Structure 1
Amino acid sequence: MGDSRATSFGAEADSYEAARPDYPFEAVAWMLERMPEGSRRLADVGAGTGKLTRVVVEARDAEVVAIDPDAAMLAKLREQVPGVPTFLGTAEALPLPDASVDAVVLGQAWHWVDPVTASAEIGRVVRRGGTLGLIWNARDDRVDWVRRLTAIMRASAAEEMLDAGGPTVASPFGPLDGERWEWRRSMTRAQLHRMAASRSHLITASESERTSIRRGMDDLFDQLGLDEESSIDVPYVTWAFRALRG
């Protein structure tokens, strides 16, 4: 996770938790359904505020640990998912023993890592036959106003990766299987602004650029008739991928 944007999110941990969408239970369950019989231990890497962690806890009767490079994000995770152990670390340098977990999952995070180095390091800690799961929530840019919103905010690194053909993994993991789920989330004008504020591009942008983006978003919302009291259905696509360790 060498890109400075990858470790910028702690500055907006509250906005990230409040405005980012949760992951559909069905997508997380699918991602983990090939875990070996009797699997008991999982690691959520790049766990952030625990958006994926809490669904993994619901989906699997197993011990879950959360790992992230940002202490501020992990502090928010401990508030949201009490009892889950947290550790500082990255996908390329995990604070876990060899062959100590049955699965590693990453939500909104694989686009920040070196896929070859991260695959090798995750392969070190995952037992043979274990699972690597990758998942993203992305706004559905096939809808005109959503496409215009993305143009104002600028496409994220994740959106660019998904548009370019999706993630890649390397040895010791086999080929990725992928699935997608389409759904909608009702959001207010304020929530959309907080969602934008939680994105790495805005966090690391200059004040003048942040002001310009906020102004562009407000112009779009005015055109849509989205006032401070109303909400709009935001179409999302959840992309999930899984690979087995050889």
Structure 2
Amino acid sequence: MTILPPRLLKALEQFNAARPWDHNAHYHRWILRQLPRRFATALDVGCGTGDLVRLLATRADKGVVGIDSDAGIVGRARELTPPSTPATFTVADAPGGIPEGPYDVITCVAVLHHLPLGETLAHLRQQLAPGGTLVVVGLARDEDYVDHLLGFVSIPLNLLMGLVKNRGRRTVVRPVSMTAVTRPAVIPFGDIAGEARRVLPGVRLRRRLFWRYTLVWRG
């Protein structure tokens, strides 16, 4: 996140605690727009409580696999998913523990910065079916003026989103998906882009608001 004066950072953290909203789920609809209307199979790496898996399942003819290394959160994903949903959840560590594909769609949201970058991208490429789509929403360390500019622009928009998404609520409702343990990104966007282009020729990357970047690659 953009470096802020301590007092302003504390005020922002207090505001977000009082009016929480899920920055990752904000991009779920955008992810769906990158995908075909129908596909056979999909994999969501770092599925958390399964929000994205359930969205993908509305388009999957054969089913969706969600994996996460946290057994507790995988259990919660199973509880939240109706039995009729064509989805399965597995406790597994990426990249080595990913169930064998191939998959027509692979998604990875706010997870890649926890994993070895090049190795994970290469493994995801191997698991993608010919003509399939890989979509990543990730976090990068702020490095240059573009990162800081987007960070500063995101601050007032973050406040606005917090107000809109919590409008009418009398009590704080913290999304279950926000309970997972996180850590800050350490690799800057430029290095991520360089490694991604090496492993995934023709990949499209873009810096985004709310301290995120996106990656789309079609095999």
Q: Report the alpha carbon displacement of residue 72 of structure 1 after superposing the two structures with TM.
A: 0.8
Q: Report the alpha carbon displacement of residue 64 of structure 1 after superposing the two structures with TM.
A: 0.9
Partner of 2:75: 75
1:31 aligns with 2:39: no
Q: Over residues 67-111 of structure 1, what are the superposed CA-to-partner deviations in whole Å (9 max), with x where a residue is unaligned?
A: 1111011111112233421112233113422x4211211011011
Partner of 2:91: 88
Structure 2 unaligned blocks of 5 or more:
1-16, 141-149, 160-181
Q: Are the structure 2 counterparts of residues 55 and 39 from structure 1 closer, same or farther at C-alpha, using a change threshold of 3 Å?
A: closer
SS in 2 for 1:32: coil
The one-letter code matched in structure 2 to 1:32 is L
Q: 2:107 aligns with which of 105, 108, 133?
A: 105
Superposed counterparts of 1:177-192, under 5 Å:
177-179=204-206
2: CA distance between counterparts of 1:91 and 1:237? 23
TM-score (norm: length of structure 2): 0.58
Q: Are the structure 2 counterparts of residues 61 and 180 from structure 1 closer, same or farther at C-alpha, using a change threshold of 3 Å?
A: farther
Superposed counterparts of 1:3-152, under 5 Å:
20-21=22-23, 22-33=25-36, 39-58=39-58, 60-62=59-61, 63-83=63-83, 84-97=87-100, 99-136=101-138, 140-142=151-153, 143=155
2: CA distance between counterparts of 1:134 and 1:145? 22
Partner of 1:175: 202
In percent, how many aligned pairs have the same letter? Answer: 18
2: CA distance between counterparts of 1:116 and 1:70? 23
Q: Over residues 3-23 of structure 1, what are the superposed CA-to-partner deviations in whole Å (9 max), with x where a residue is unaligned?
A: xxxxxxxxxxxx9xx853423
Q: Report the alpha carbon displacement of residue 169 of structure 1 after superposing the two structures with TM.
A: 2.6
2: CA distance between counterparts of 1:101 and 1:145? 35
1:240 aligns with 2:214: yes
TM-score (norm: length of structure 1): 0.53
Q: Report the alpha carbon displacement of residue 136 of structure 1 after superposing the two structures with TM.
A: 4.3
2: CA distance between counterparts of 1:177 and 1:170? 9
4+ aligned runs moved over 6 Å, structure 1? 144-147
2: CA distance between counterparts of 1:170 and 1:179? 13
Aligned-residue Cα RMSD (Å) equals: 3.7
Partner of 2:162: none
Partner of 1:206: none
SS in 1 for 2:95: coil
Matched positions, count: 163
Q: Are the structure 2 counterparts of residues 238 and 172 from structure 1 closer, same or farther at C-alpha, using a change threshold of 3 Å?
A: closer
